[in-house]
Amino acid sequence: MNHTTPSANPIDRLLDSLCLTPAGLLSLVALAVLPLVPPFNHEYLIRWLISAAFIASLSIAFDFTAGLINIVNFGYCAIMGVGGYTSAILAERIGLTPWIGMLAGGLVAALLGLIIGMITLRLRGIFAACLAWFFGLAAMGLATKMVWLTRGPLGMRVNRLFDTASNVPYYYLLLGMMVVTYVICKWVTRTRMGVAFKAIGQNMEAARTSGINPVFYRVSNFVLSCALAGWLGGFYAHYYGILTPDIMLTSKTVEVLAVAYIGGRGSLWGGAAVAFPFIFAMELVRSSLSNLPGLNLLLYGLLLILVMIYYPGGFAAFFDATFRKYKNRVMNYFFNGAYESPR
Amino acid sequence: MAEQVGNRGWERVFKWCRSLAGVTVIATVLIALLATADRGGYILVNTIVTGGMTALVAMGLALTLGVLNIPMFAHGEYFMIGSLVAYYVFTPISSFLNTHPDSALALWGPLITVLAAMIVGALAGVVSEVFVFRQLRKRSRENWVMNSFLLTVGLSVVMINAHQLFFGADFKGITHYWSGPPINLMDVFISRDRAYAFILSVVVVGVFWFFMTYTRTGRAIRAVAQDETGALMVGIGLNGILMLTMSLSCVLAAIAGAGLLFMYPSYPSMGLEPLYMAWFVVILAGLGNVLGAVMGAFMVALLKVLTVEYIGSGWDFVVPSALIIVILIFKPSGIFGSEVRGVLDK
Amino acid sequence: MLLEVKKLNAGYGFLQILRDVSLTVDNGEYVCLVGPNGAGKSTTLKTIAGLLTPMSGEILFDGESIAGLPGNKVTRKGISFVSEEMNLFVNMTVQENLAMGAYTIKDKKLQKDRLDFVFDLFPRLVERRHQLAGTMSGGERKMLAIGRGLMPNPKLLLVDEPSFGLAPLLTESVFQSLDTLVRQGVTIMLVEQNVTKTLAVTHRGYVLENGRIELSGKSSDLACDAHVRKVFLGV
């Protein structure tokens, strides 16, 4: 899955150093241009785009833990919610600007990740998943009960980032955050730390005997992934304008999880790629077949099961197997003037 | 000679009392009695009734963990299936009973309801095993724990939304299973439904314990839990045992769901609470430890009742989470010992 | 011919270990399969026992093809496998383990008879009959594993490295028990690294190297063979 093998052509090499691929760049450009193109310039579709981009960003950071070190952070959206609430509360209580509030949210979430990572470091991955889940449920419980701080289930009004009525600036901000998330995660996987993550994910014992301290790496991974979640949570709070404990529900984490795994675990970009058609399809089914509630979610549950059994590599594996080879051949032809079979 | 044996027996009892398991069990009983003295008999009643049903759900989860090695996150949905079936079976019975209060159905109705829930629960278990988990098992044993966990997540989504799609998101409840005045036990009034639920859980746990300890199939299940290859080597057919165990696990959850319908009406996402309780019990008692789960269930039930009583309702996700942290730091293999192959990282 | 293996190819996933392995075991024989570490001896036994699916080749037991049958069905045909890891039920007592060994026997009287037989063969297990299998020493666990394998009165007993990790005295004891079994008419195929001892007690042997059968013949002949002596005895 690592695209650091040096390619023959200069475009690939340049993009590679930015952690991008030609297909990725094209998709980004398409996404950036989309709000200008009807019918996507309607507000409700912009909202769908934002939802999709949000899940996409979350799934990138989620995959950083799930795909690389093979631990499912089952309280992920709760941690994201904690970041959101942190930023919202700081904005309300001490008037902190949301731009810094978002970072504060990331910091608090990172702290949570640190605690969870440290407690479960010697245990099997399933314990980390369980503890993250319990933490998430507790966080949701606290957010619901501590009404003096969070207004509880009634919801907390949050000041928005931009004063515009349109959501378009939020979309572009989120796209930027998505790219930053991806680049950070991708860049780390290329460092020695990233190699260590992969080693731990595959064989903890072998990694240990190679001198890798799995404790340190597991915790670091968790902390980064949670920090990104908290940062994104801050965005959500100051975009949506209202914050309720519902964003911490396990079912929200399940949505991110499904997107990340159907997209292709370990790929980082797979979930992001899948998120857009996914959210659109789900919203379409929901609005057009409103007499069949729950059908959209049922379908995505089925899809998750089918992908996990029959095509565990997910969309990313499918893409790699079919398109990438073809694209490489085409690029090869352009730059080397003749058709050469790829090695 | 007899005296020596008698002494050794007592020695073993005292040794157990000093062990972690013994201490927590004794502490639980003492705390329960203290709280009862403080606030009233309903504390004990609630603990026992909740504990009994939690025991069923937790035993089912322990089975899935220990024998199939699947971290089952859809377990609450089998509870939901049980309650859903119970609703649709008992509601017509109930309206019949309104006009014919003296018919035999007054006695047999609730029992038939539970039986129906058992049958559908068993079917759900078989379908899950044959069409979902066996397919994964056939394709790849690698990374089994995480992969099967993801499948259970998918199953959970499917079941919750199937309920919503086909049966609606509203609350489907019944007022009572058994009509008649509540039972008066030492100044505490216990509704007949609660008494029935508790007796049901005692009977089921008893039958289940007997099955696992004394029957050939029960021993085969325990063998598969301890060493799958060894079980193959002595001639035990794995597929059959795995399917049976999955089925049993779902039946246990379904019975609990049906038994508690009078207290917890059925709706699509009702499974979260039983799921959470079951996982709490199982981590507390030790993953895969089926009998330990029974004891652990009563401890967790007491904790829940006391939390609601002394701190207030709505905190029941927070307090257990704090306890889980303590357990995971100091005794991750659980109070009664884990029987799942390898708790600590390899 | 009790067991015929013809051109067996097997391995784990994509990794092929056995290449065209062929061997036979006749009724009442005491046959050994020796070879260096990693040669594929355990793989051979596991494939015959049904714990691994062969890639190609034939396995005939009593004339019937059993290649690809799962482990439990192979046991029911009359082959018992005692693995190197023993695969005992660690939270069950000695008696319970042996009782599980008799899983395929419906007749209670027959179960009792087999239990007596195993206790006769391994008196040390009698004293420990109510002890948990997981708390016993290595030698006792080996005896229990062999005992459990004997419970269904198998036509063929496959034993993988019975002396592995055992002190010499215990090794001797285990080999003696196997001897007794052979004299009583049990057919045994043995996989061992202790070549000298093995060739001394068995009738026939096969030498497996890199997944192929390099040599075969009477054990006494193999013991004198120059190649065998060089590879295994460093002579």
List, for residues A39-53, the tens digit of each pLDDT value.
777 888 888 899 999
> What domain range includes position A60?
10-336
| Residues of chain A neighbouring B149 (CB-CB closer than 8 A) | 72, 126, 129
Q: Do B320 and A124 touch (CB under 8 A)?
A: no
Is A289 within a domain? yes
**Whether the predicted pLDDT of B34 surpasses 90:** no
| Residues of chain A neighbouring B329 (CB-CB closer than 8 A) | 119
Work out the mean pLDDT of chain C and round it to a whole number: 89
User: What's the mean pLDDT in B2-16?
Assistant: 69
pTM, entire model: 0.89
Is A89 within a domain? yes
Is A290 within a domain? yes
User: What's the mean pLDDT in A72-94?
Assistant: 93
Decide which of B341 and C176 is more confident.
C176
Q: Do B223 and C76 touch (CB under 8 A)?
A: no
DSSP assignment of B294-322:
HHHHHHHHHHHHHIIIII-TT-TTHHHHH
Cα Rg, chain B, nearest whole Å: 21
Least confident piece of the model among A47-51, A302-306, C131-135, C227-231: C227-231
Look at residue A233 in the predicted model and tell me its pLDDT: 95
Look at residue A343 in the predicted model and tell me its pLDDT: 45
Domain tally, chain A: 1
Q: Which of C51, C73, C89 shows the shortest C-beta gap to B226?
A: C89
Is A5 within a domain? no
| Residues of chain C neighbouring B236 (CB-CB closer than 8 A) | 72, 103
Q: What is the CATH number of the domain that holds A38?
A: 1.10.3470
Is A72 within a domain? yes
The enclosing H or E element of A295 equals: helix A295-310
Band (pLDDT 50/70/90 cuts) for residue A111 is: very high
Look at residue A340 in the predicted model and tell me its pLDDT: 47
**Inter-chain CB pairs, B–C, below 8 Å:** 70
> What is the nearest CA distance from A273 to chain B, expressed in angstroms?
20
Q: Which of A126, A298, A309 shows the shortest C-beta gap to B145?
A: A126
What share of residues in chain B are helix, strand, coil (percent, to 5)?
75, 5, 20
> What is the nearest CA distance from B213 to chain C, expressed in angstroms?
11
Q: Which of B226, B235, B339 shows the shortest C-beta gap to C72?
A: B235
Q: Which of B230, B232, B235 shows the shortest C-beta gap to C89?
A: B230
Q: Whole-angstrom Cα distance, residue B99 to residue C189?
A: 75
The tens digit of pLDDT for each residue in A281-291 reads 888 888 888 77
Is A4 within a domain? no
HSE-up (13 A, CA, CB side) for residue A253: 27
Band (pLDDT 50/70/90 cuts) for residue A105 is: very high
| % of chain B with per-residue pLDDT over 90 | 54
Which residues of chain B are at the C interface, by a Cβ-Cβ cutoff of 8 Å? 216, 219-220, 222-223, 226-227, 229-238, 339
Nearest to C151 by CA among C183, C189, C122: C122
Look at residue A335 in the predicted model and tell me its pLDDT: 65
Mutate to test the interface with B, among A73, A123, A127 (most CBs of B within 10 A): A127
Chains B and A touch (3+ CB pairs under 8 A): yes
Least confident piece of the model among B311-320, C17-26, C40-49, C171-180: B311-320
Q: Do B329 and A130 touch (CB under 8 A)?
A: no
User: What's the mean pLDDT in C14-38?
Assistant: 90
Mutate to test the interface with A, among B139, B275, B304, B345 (most CBs of A within 10 A): B345
Least confident piece of the model among A86-100, B320-334, C103-117: B320-334
**ipTM of this model?**
0.91
> What is the nearest CA distance from A181 to chain B, expressed in angstroms?
24
Extract the runs of DSSP E, i.e. beta strands, from chain A. Answer: 156-157, 242-243
Band (pLDDT 50/70/90 cuts) for residue A4 is: very low
| Residues of chain C neighbouring B227 (CB-CB closer than 8 A) | 87-90
User: What's the mean pLDDT in B223-230?
Assistant: 92
**Whether the predicted pLDDT of B152 surpasses 50:** yes
Closest residue, chain C, to B238 (C-alpha): C72
Extract the runs of DSSP E, i.e. beta strands, from B137-271. Answer: 183-185, 188-190
> What is the nearest CA distance from B177 to chain A, expressed in angstroms?
31
Look at residue A258 in the predicted model and tell me its pLDDT: 94
**Whether the predicted pLDDT of A21 surpasses 90:** no
**Whether the predicted pLDDT of B159 surpasses 70:** yes
Look at residue A12 in the predicted model and tell me its pLDDT: 67
Strands C30-34 and C156-160: unpaired
Band (pLDDT 50/70/90 cuts) for residue B11 is: confident
Residue listed under structure tokens 């029960």? B218
Angle between helix axes A10-17 and A22-33 (nearest 10 degrees) is: 70
HSE-up (13 A, CA, CB side) for residue A208: 9
Work out the mean pLDDT of chain B and round it to a whole number: 88
The tens digit of pLDDT for each residue in B39-94 reads 877 888 888 988 999 999 999 999 999 999 999 999 999 999 999 999 999 999 98
Look at residue B5 in the predicted model and tell me its pLDDT: 54
Is A342 within a domain? no
C-alpha distances in Å from residue B82, one per residue of A311, B74, B97, B163 = 32, 13, 22, 12
Decide which of B11 and B225 is more confident.
B225
Residue A142, beta-bridge partner list: none
Q: Do B165 and A72 touch (CB under 8 A)?
A: no
Which chains lie within 8 Å of chain C at 3 or more CB pairs, if any? B
Which residues of chain C are at the B interface, by a Cβ-Cβ cutoff of 8 Å? 49-51, 70-73, 75-76, 80-81, 83, 85-92, 96, 99-101, 103-104, 148-149, 151-152
Q: Do B236 and C89 touch (CB under 8 A)?
A: no
Decide which of A53 and A122 is more confident.
A53
Chains C and B touch (3+ CB pairs under 8 A): yes
Band (pLDDT 50/70/90 cuts) for residue A7 is: low
**Whether the predicted pLDDT of A302 surpasses 80:** yes
The tens digit of pLDDT for each residue in A130-169 reads 888 998 999 998 898 888 888 888 888 888 877 788 888 8
Q: Whole-angstrom Cα distance, residue C34 to residue C201?
A: 13
User: What's the mean pLDDT in A221-248?
Assistant: 93
Look at residue B7 in the predicted model and tell me its pLDDT: 63
Q: Which of C72, C81, C91 shows the shortest C-beta gap to B236?
A: C72
> What is the nearest CA distance from A210 to chain B, expressed in angstroms?
15
Q: Can you tell me whether residue A258 is helix, strand or coil?
A: helix
HSE-up (13 A, CA, CB side) for residue A191: 9
Domain ranges of chain B: 49-282
The tens digit of pLDDT for each residue in C43-94 reads 999 999 999 999 999 999 998 999 989 999 999 999 999 999 989 999 899 9
Q: Which of A123, A305, A309 shows the shortest C-beta gap to B328?
A: A123
| Residues of chain C neighbouring B235 (CB-CB closer than 8 A) | 72, 75-76, 103-104, 152
| % of chain A with per-residue pLDDT over 90 | 36
Q: Can you tell me whether residue A134 is helix, strand or coil?
A: helix
Look at residue C112 in the predicted model and tell me its pLDDT: 93
